[in-house]
Structure formats: C-alpha cells, structure tokens
Amino acid sequence: MLAVFDKTVAKSPEALQSPHIAGSAFALKDGSLASHFSSMHPGSVIINLGSSGFMSYSSDKQNPLLPRLFAVVDDIFCVFEGHIENVAHLKQQYGLNKTANEVIIVIEAYRTLRDRGPYPADQVVRDILGKFAFILYDGSSKTTFIAADADGSVPFFWGTDSEGHLVLSDDGEVVKQGCGKSFAPFPKGCIFTSSGGLRSYEHPINELKAVPRVDSSGEVCGATFKVDSESKKGKTGMPRVGSDANWSQHI
C-alpha cells in the first residue's frame, strides 16, 4: 500500500523532515512515485484524491496472513493491511452486519469518532486487537487517520518528499525512492492525524521524543519516535465541540 498526502492535509513531524539529496523524487508533482509503485506491484490501483494526494494498493506480494483490503464509504477512503482478532466483538460494538471485514470496521470506528463518539481516539485504536496498519483519508474534511499496532507486526514506513509531502507505505524501498534521507519506520503503537499529529495510543498521556536515525555512512536519515516516560501532556481528552463543528478536526 502507498499514500502520499499534500503537506496542507497532513503535516509531517518536523523531526522526520531532513535535507534531501539532489534528484530525490517529487511524490506528488510528477507522478513518478505512483509509477514506481505500479511497476514494482503489478495490478495496483491508484485512487486520485485531487489536491490532497493519492492512495494506492495491490494484492501483489502480500502476506496471506496479513492481507491488504481497501474500501470507500461516504467519501472515507481506507487501505488496511493485517488481521483483527476481535472482529466479532467490534462488529457488535459498531452495529455492523456479519459481512463487514477489517477495513469496514476501521472506517466505522473513525466515523464514530468523527460524529461525536464516546471514546477518545487512543481508546478506539487500542480496542482493535491484532496485527495491523492502516491509512484512512476523509474526503469531506480533508483529514487523515493513520495507525500501526503496538508490535509493529506489519511493515510500515513513512517520510517526506522534497516538497514536504507525507509518504506512507508498507514497502520501504518505495518510501526511500520518494523521500531520500527522510525515511523511517512508522512508530509502533501510534496514531497520526491531520489535526493532532503523532501520538502514542498505548501511552496517551506521554509525549513522544524524536530520536535521529543514522545510516551506515553516519548521516542522519529521518527519526524514530519513542514514548518519553518523564513528559506528560497537560490535556489528553478529546474536546467536545458544538454540533455544527466538524469533530474530525479534533481527533
């Protein structure tokens, strides 16, 4: 799977942005990254999100135990990779029918949050048991909702291209192609949203600390993010807003 979001939709953490080598790709500008992904993954489907970017997925080279799924419901686009163990419980919790699969569960969980659900975002993702990584884009509010499980069971990487646009993929070579030195594994047990940025859903009251990554030649290449046990956030709850406001802006 692959997603590239315009920097106005998903602003990547500053620590993830690093100087780019000459000739590094423009992930949105010239379409080269989408073409590169398609050439490496035959049968890939590209979903054009207009000025917000694009998403792509393919069943090529997928782990049969961690399949890739894609769905769009009411202008909410989601690509999911992995397996949820408590599917039956989550279907009941969100009032879904028996045919709903993992990607539909994620979309419904997000929609519940967006439409004034009773739980904070970190609790909703923590309720999902299994091995997973997913990328969700809400076209109605131009917001993203991205997460990976606490064990990092699914290969998942991110970085920024030469223009500061966010790139995410389960294929590390694709991210390197588009991001140059700005490349790192997506943090385990974390969620990233357009409005809230990156945070741990396992330790929601703690801040995340960026640790520079160094490649074999000694050059800084992106950053990893770890929970800072000594730093706590002042406010952890999801704010309640008026019914006319777009609640997804506060996820």
Handedness of CA 232, 119, 65, 75 (dihedral sign): negative
Residue length, the chain? 251
Amino acid at 137: Y
Interatomic CA distance for residues 23 and 173, integer angstroms: 16
pLDDT of 3 reads 96
Number of H helices, E strands in the chain: 5, 14
pLDDT means over runs of 10, the chain (251 residues): 94 76 63 88 92 93 90 96 95 92 95 78 89 96 95 93 91 88 89 90 84 72 77 52 46 60
Distances (CA, A) of 112 to 65, 109, 206, 212: 28, 5, 25, 36
* Residue at token pair 């028996």: 98
pLDDT of 225 reads 84
pLDDT of 25 reads 60
- H-type alpha helices, 129-221: 172-179
pTM score of the predicted model: 0.87
Interatomic CA distance for residues 155 and 170, integer angstroms: 5
Q: Are 187 and 225 in contact (CB under 8 A)?
A: yes
